[in-house]
Amino acid sequence: MRVFVADHPLITHKLTVLRDKTTAQPTFRALTEELVTLLAYEATREVAIEEITFETPVCETQGVQLARPLPLVVPILRAGLGMLEGMVKLLPTAEVGFLGMVRDETTFQPVTYAERLPDDLSGRQCFVLDPMLATGGSLAAAIQFLFDRGADNITAVCILAAPEGLEALEKATEGRNVTIVLGAVDERLNEQGYIVPGLGDAGDRLYGTI
């Protein structure tokens, strides 16, 4: 597993405002989108392209376009949805699939409760969106879901991660082609499973506490 932690003053600034508990929901949503667009720039560094020949007003020349099959962007519901617009700003022709994961409160295992994805993901670059890599359980399950559909090239874009979650994900994806692009790695997880210092519950801060 490859891990890239973004290192840019604008990202650190936007993260600071996201972390601040006094930041209101509309600002939180707007900043999440902006931050993800910056992370998307890093995450798409190796997006597959193919050469094309076309004409400028002056002459014929060569350029590139996204290779087919087009990339697939997969927000993990609910909080990953808040990252979608920021991602597709840089990948407007990407297809979008959806994956809903919830933790079973008796087994504590992540369970898929909703899925809208192509049956065959072989040869597809998949970009998974999940803002908080906390224990790594739901992201590992989502990545496994995509592997089971034939994906072999997965990049996860996360806003924050805990070291514990990164370690768990590393074990769960051993030997596979997985890249994680992050805004920051925080100190730790607390007893309630929150990232510390973190930003609280990303889904609640994006969409309210329902």
Among 10-18, 19-27, 86-94, 198-206, which window interacts with ligand URA (CB under 6 A)?
A: 198-206
* Cis peptide upstream of residue 69 (ω within 30 degrees of 0): yes
Q: Is the dihedral of CA 168, 173, 175, 181 positive or negative?
A: negative
129 or 134, CB closer to ligand URA? 134
71 or 203, CB closer to ligand URA? 203
> No. of H helices and E strands in the chain?
6, 13
Per the annotation, the verdict on 103 as an active-site residue is yes
Candidate residues 15, 117, 134, 182; the one interacting with ligand URA per rule CB under 6 A: 134
Question: Rounded to whole angstroms, how far apart are CA atoms 2 and 65?
Answer: 25
Per the annotation, the verdict on 119 as an active-site residue is no
Residues that bind ligand URA (rule: CB under 6 A) add up to a total of 10
* Closest of 32, 148, 152 to residue 99, by C-alpha: 148
Question: Rounded to whole angstroms, how far apart are CA atoms 189 and 207?
Answer: 23
Query: Minimum distance between the CB of residue 195 and ligand URA, rounded to whole angstroms?
Result: 4
Catalytic pick from 53, 107, 119, 209?
Answer: 107
Candidate residues 73, 140, 146, 195; the one interacting with ligand URA per rule CB under 6 A: 195
Structure tokens at 207: 């969409």
Catalytic pick from 23, 103, 112, 176?
Answer: 103
β-pairing, 72-77 vs 126-129, is parallel
CB 1 within 8 A of CB 136: no
181 or 195, CB closer to ligand URA? 195
Per the annotation, the verdict on 29 as an active-site residue is no
Interaction site with ligand URA (CB under 6 A): 79, 132, 134, 193-195, 198, 201-203
Output the known binding site. 78, 103, 130-138, 195, 200-202
Catalogue the active-site residues: 103, 107, 201, 204
